[in-house]
Structure 1
């Protein structure tokens, strides 16, 4: 703890030094040896939970005001700035490759695939869970060990300047943008502004670094111009392109064939859907830029894993449940519906869809588009949960939807759908994180390890 105090320009009293092995910002998940950071949020004040963190083993607390504490405390003006300083201190002593990933869709999956691919060349430290913020990334840097050769970070974005801040202390040498879409359009107003916010990552990559971006799309040229370093593209006509893909629902894997600058690569990756092939292409793009053996990277990537609640199939009484409830945006929801339409169903194709959140003025249009897509795909049943999904219902009706339409007030109510499932049916469950549609599974008694 004395070293942290020194980094921040302070000091500790005699006899109160402690060995700090990690950082926690949530008292419920504090671990022995942690420095608990008392974040002040809109609904909670971390200063009220220092005792809880200490009871779970936290050995010290970082606070922004002087309060009583059962463990030694370090008082700072701004906890976020203090954490950035700690991360900078650690980062400046790391000589390996730092890969940062952002994008409107798929950044967590791509981060996992990059981490798996790079593991063929050495030990990898990666951000875990939702540690993609000004609080989470310093927690990742605290886990850095001497053995690590690569660090792979996911960077979230809630507004302009946030990615620039994360890049300022993480100093990535490789920047990856997965796709530009409408996630967080409620905060930024339009897709152009989202592209500009995401491009902050590319602007932070040094001249001798690498940018990995989609080969197509409305903002491909914009992203390329934002980078001052060499660029590797993935997607149709890119440096890494998808030749073929096939989804294996029974194994929760997608078999893929890629071409990377004339070299053909084949294998399989965890996860379902043709978009997984694009995610894999992005990961291989990083390896192309770094000059790593691509077949080794492809083999290691096949051993990777995808975090829970992201498009995984489980069996339930002869039916197949496609669980994709970690989050939802117009782009990812469209992909999920298309995966459902391609599923090898011998029965009905059914979707339980929850609200897509944080879309602002785009909410109505986005939900109408999703409903219309369900109609075009000829789904047999559409069960909708939330306050905005009535626009999805209207969009489906306007497009001539002929199946059954239901509106539910909660995830638990939507569990009624399970009682009507028959062997051979495929059921998709998709919604934003705030909708907590995993409660549908719990209410229906579905056992899952996702």
Structure 2
């Protein structure tokens, strides 16, 4: 974590010390939450939905904080507490993080995309950790607040940090890219998340493409070559940095020539290494694509194919992303309940469809959120997609997911479809379908909390 004197922190964050006589006092880390603040940390008061962090500055100091930011136009600054006076605490934290990033000399890998960015981040960090000292974004600390906090938690001896970059509006990825100044930038794909804010997939692609704004001219830009919107944006540019595409198509720089599901994992061969079979301990073509992006990062950083293969075998993804569990009566439960969009929903359904060793395939699907005015149409489209697959049972949860049920009934009367608004009733119905021939998928947006079904469905 950052360890600097108050004078150094002031210079790095464009702040003014309220007590210059304390300029040589040290700060060890930062915090935005008095509930978890540690002795010696810098407290950063940020506005929240119900309160402003400035009202907790004294509490932070009494709990051991070394100092705190204070917004210049905020009245009544406490005179007995060391303060760093700034125009805006969030901007000051971002400036501090950017300065610290450059002082450490760490290499930065930035990852964004509509789907798969967390899994791709985990894969990149796993592969690189066999050769380098690596840190990565923890949880979903990928926002205007989260990314600077991740950088400020960086240990100075760390060689590479893998940063996830999230957004909900145009300009946000550009801001994060300029803070992090990545040496390698990755766009996993373009889906439909944030259509409510960005209006179209073209708008989403342009917003994700902002990741190149802070990219090192000597760096590498890695993108989904199966996505025409990204390819069109790449074709319009004249980059100083290298570019590399990955995907299913043989027009990409990296693509798989074979993919086989093996138990609860996936074997695949990349055209660039035709004699090497890679193994992922997770299921799905979309995870193979994520692995290709991670492999591209690793090869740019000089990591051998054998080391990549070995590290992928030991992959441990962030929870609720294609987690496999032993279900009741010998069934297989796939928990992919962390989030959902039409793109990721189709990928998960395709996976279940392809698991030929199971004769009874059950989908438990809930609402996909933040899809804008066409949200009902997107859900019905998922129903039409399911109708063409080898699926026996579909259980929907939530008001929007009813449109999935309607879409299935439009095109396929043989799939048994049931709709639920009570989670306990849903769990009872799902458990009654489980046996040794059954695979059951749990998939919905994070707000639906469908992972709560696992207790009662797993052994």
Q: What is the TM-score of this pair, normalised by structure 2?
A: 0.88
2:226 is the counterpart of 1:216: yes
Question: What SS class does the counterpart of residue 334 from structure 2 fall into?
Answer: strand
2:245 is the counterpart of 1:239: no
Counterpart residue number, 2:43: 36
How large is the RMSD of aligned CA atoms in angstroms?
A: 2.6
* 2:337 maps to which of 325, 338, 354: 325
Query: 5+ unaligned residues in a row in structure 2: which ranges?
Result: none
2:23 is the counterpart of 1:11: no
Counterpart residue number, 2:129: 119
Aligned pairs for 1:362-381 within 5 A: 362-381=374-393
The alpha-carbon distance between structure 1 residues 308 and 48, as it changes in their structure 2 partners (threshold 3 A), is: farther
* 1:297 maps to which of 308, 332, 354: 308
Counterpart residue number, 1:279: 290
Q: Comparing 331-340 with 225-234, which one deviates more in the overlay?
A: 225-234
2:134 is the counterpart of 1:152: no
The alpha-carbon distance between structure 1 residues 379 and 192, as it changes in their structure 2 partners (threshold 3 A), is: same
* 2:449 maps to which of 436, 442, 449: 436
Alpha carbons 2:431, 2:457 under 8 Å: kept = no
Q: Comparing 98-107 with 394-403, which one deviates more in the overlay?
A: 394-403
Question: What SS class does the counterpart of residue 322 from structure 1 fall into?
Answer: strand
The alpha-carbon distance between structure 1 residues 28 and 331, as it changes in their structure 2 partners (threshold 3 A), is: farther
Cα distance in structure 1, aligned partners of 2:214 and 2:393: 47
Alpha carbons 2:180, 2:214 under 8 Å: kept = no
CA deviation after TM superposition for structure 1 residue 367, in Å: 0.3
Q: Could you report, residue by residue, the CA deviation over 1:92-125 in whole angstroms, capped at 9, with x for unpaired residues?
A: 2233421111111101111111112222331112
2:184 is the counterpart of 1:170: no
Q: Comparing 48-57 with 271-280, which one deviates more in the overlay?
A: 48-57
CA deviation after TM superposition for structure 1 residue 31, in Å: 4.5
* 1:195 maps to which of 205, 212, 227: 205
Alpha carbons 1:109, 1:306 under 8 Å: kept = yes
Question: What SS class does the counterpart of residue 181 from structure 1 fall into?
Answer: coil
2:80 is the counterpart of 1:84: no
Question: What SS class does the counterpart of residue 207 from structure 2 fall into?
Answer: helix
The alpha-carbon distance between structure 1 residues 296 and 380, as it changes in their structure 2 partners (threshold 3 A), is: same
Count of matched residue positions in the alignment of Structure 1 and Structure 2: 443
* 2:317 maps to which of 290, 306, 322: 306
The alpha-carbon distance between structure 1 residues 174 and 337, as it changes in their structure 2 partners (threshold 3 A), is: same
CA deviation after TM superposition for structure 1 residue 410, in Å: 4.2
Q: Comparing 369-378 with 156-165, which one deviates more in the overlay?
A: 369-378
Question: What SS class does the counterpart of residue 212 from structure 1 fall into?
Answer: strand
Q: What is the TM-score of this pair, normalised by structure 1?
A: 0.90
Query: 5+ unaligned residues in a row in structure 1: which ranges?
Result: none
CA deviation after TM superposition for structure 1 residue 399, in Å: 1.5
Counterpart residue number, 1:407: 419
Alpha carbons 2:17, 2:85 under 8 Å: kept = no
Cα distance in structure 1, aligned partners of 2:214 and 2:312: 27
CA deviation after TM superposition for structure 1 residue 422, in Å: 2.9
Cα distance in structure 1, aligned partners of 2:233 and 2:335: 32
Question: What SS class does the counterpart of residue 139 from structure 2 fall into?
Answer: coil
Q: Comparing 294-303 with 111-120, which one deviates more in the overlay?
A: 294-303
CA deviation after TM superposition for structure 1 residue 140, in Å: 1.5
2:142 is the counterpart of 1:142: no
Question: What SS class does the counterpart of residue 17 from structure 2 fall into?
Answer: coil
Cα distance in structure 2, aligned partners of 1:55 and 1:320: 51
The alpha-carbon distance between structure 1 residues 402 and 72, as it changes in their structure 2 partners (threshold 3 A), is: farther
Cα distance in structure 2, aligned partners of 1:97 and 1:145: 13
Alpha carbons 2:365, 2:396 under 8 Å: kept = yes
Q: Could you report, residue by residue, the CA deviation over 1:269-288 in whole angstroms, capped at 9, with x for unpaired residues?
A: 23221211111111111123
